[in-house]
């Protein structure tokens, strides 16, 4: 970076440096995108409409984004990262609490606390029509680049969901590939349920959504722990048989 450019970046205007002003303008466009796309869909987010909503000119749009698709990706990242950060914090806090209480055996209610809180966090977020429409509807089929981002987000959230399932049944034993498949299936189930809920105009309470989806997570956890127990029995039996054969 040249000395002249460094001076330009550090130039103060109205008490705010250029880098900060750029970041603020970018956020104004992201907020405008959330409102417009979340209300009327991606196709309605023309450059003119975005600039009008943000109160900025096209010059400033292209300062941060090369296209409206790039803006959509920034909007999607902003929404999903915000939710993901809160979910990760919730999981970390809960798991630390479980370690601290490991001296006693938790009851089933405490084991499902994390799942209930996580589901409540998610459905509360989806209850915001902007978040729901953008992350559940507008994200689908927009472009190969957005499709790839959707796949990446699904994988990230499937990992978090499997952590939640393990909090219900800590002794689950499952290999990495199966765990990824189960996590993706659970995310797909919850997302499909949330999409239908939103498209119907939220006819059920958040509590109803949480209680019913909780059954999916707890049922999966119990099935996995049952399968783990059966596999352990088979492994022990095979080991014993092998030892007997070697002794002979």
How high is the pLDDT of residue 187? 95
Instruction: Evaluate whether residue 151 is within a structural domain.
Output: yes
Together in a domain, 59 and 154:
no
How high is the pLDDT of residue 98? 54
Q: Could you tell me which residues are beta bridge partners of residue 16?
A: 13
DSSP annotation string for 5-33:
HHHHHT-EETTEEHHHHHHHHHHHHHHHH
Together in a domain, 49 and 141:
no
Together in a domain, 46 and 87:
no
Here the tokens at position 207 are 């509590």
Together in a domain, 46 and 140:
no
Together in a domain, 76 and 193:
yes
How high is the pLDDT of residue 38? 96
Instruction: Evaluate whether residue 242 is within a structural domain.
Output: no
How high is the pLDDT of residue 131? 97
CATH number at residue 40: 1.10.10
Instruction: Evaluate whether residue 245 is within a structural domain.
Output: no
Together in a domain, 111 and 79:
yes
Together in a domain, 98 and 155:
yes
**What does the chain come to in residues?**
248
Pairing type for strands 12-13 and 16-17 reads antiparallel
Instruction: Evaluate whether residue 129 is within a structural domain.
Output: yes
Instruction: Evaluate whether residue 43 is within a structural domain.
Output: yes
How high is the pLDDT of residue 13? 58
> Over the stretch 216-248, which tens digit does the pLDDT of each residue have?
999 988 888 766 544 443 343 344 344 444 545
Q: 114 CB contacts (<8 Å, ≥6 apart)?
A: 90, 91, 94, 95, 164, 167, 168
Together in a domain, 214 and 131:
yes
What residues of the chain score a pLDDT lower than 50? 1, 4-6, 8-9, 101-109, 229-245, 247
Together in a domain, 88 and 198:
yes
Together in a domain, 47 and 139:
no
Q: What is the dihedral of CA 66, 141, 151, 148, to 10 degrees?
A: -40
How high is the pLDDT of residue 66? 95
Q: Which domain holds residue 72?
A: 68-237
Together in a domain, 152 and 45:
no
Q: Could you give the number of structural domains in the chain?
A: 2
Instruction: Evaluate whether residue 117 is within a structural domain.
Output: yes
Instruction: Evaluate whether residue 248 is within a structural domain.
Output: no
Percent of the chain scored above 90 by pLDDT? 62
Together in a domain, 52 and 101:
no
How high is the pLDDT of residue 237? 35
The answer to whether 84 touches 157, Cβ cutoff 8 Å, is yes
């Amino acid at each position: 970076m040249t000395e002249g450019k460094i001076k330009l970046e550090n130039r103060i205007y109205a008490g705010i440096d250029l880098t900060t002003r750029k970041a603020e303008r970018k956020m104004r466009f992201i907020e405008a995108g959330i409102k417009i796309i979340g209300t009327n869909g991606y196709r309605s987010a023309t450059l003119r409409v975005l600039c009008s909503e943000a109160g900025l000119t096209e010059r400033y749009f292209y300062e941060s984004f090369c296209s409206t698709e790039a803006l959509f990706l920034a909007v999607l990242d902003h929404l999903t990262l915000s939710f993901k950060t809160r979910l990760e914090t919730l999981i970390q806090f809960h798991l630390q609490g479980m370690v601290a209480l490991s001296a006693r055996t938790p009851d089933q209610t405490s084991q499902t606390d994390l799942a209930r809180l996580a589901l409540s966090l998610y459905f509360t977020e989806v209850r915001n029509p902007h978040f729901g429409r953008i992350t559940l509807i507008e994200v689908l089929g927009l472009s190969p680049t957005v499709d790839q981002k959707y796949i990446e987000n699904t994988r990230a959230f499937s990992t978090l969901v499997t952590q939640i399932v393990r909090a219900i049944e800590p002794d689950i034993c499952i290999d990495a590939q199966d765990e990824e498949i189960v996590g993706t299936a659970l995310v797909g189930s919850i997302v499909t349920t949330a999409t239908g809920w939103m498209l119907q105009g939220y006819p059920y309470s958040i509590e109803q959504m949480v209680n019913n989806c909780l059954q999916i997570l707890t049922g999966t956890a119990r099935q996995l722990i049952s399968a783990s127990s059966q596999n352990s029995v088979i492994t022990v039996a095979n080991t014993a048989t092998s030892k007997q054969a070697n002794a002979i």
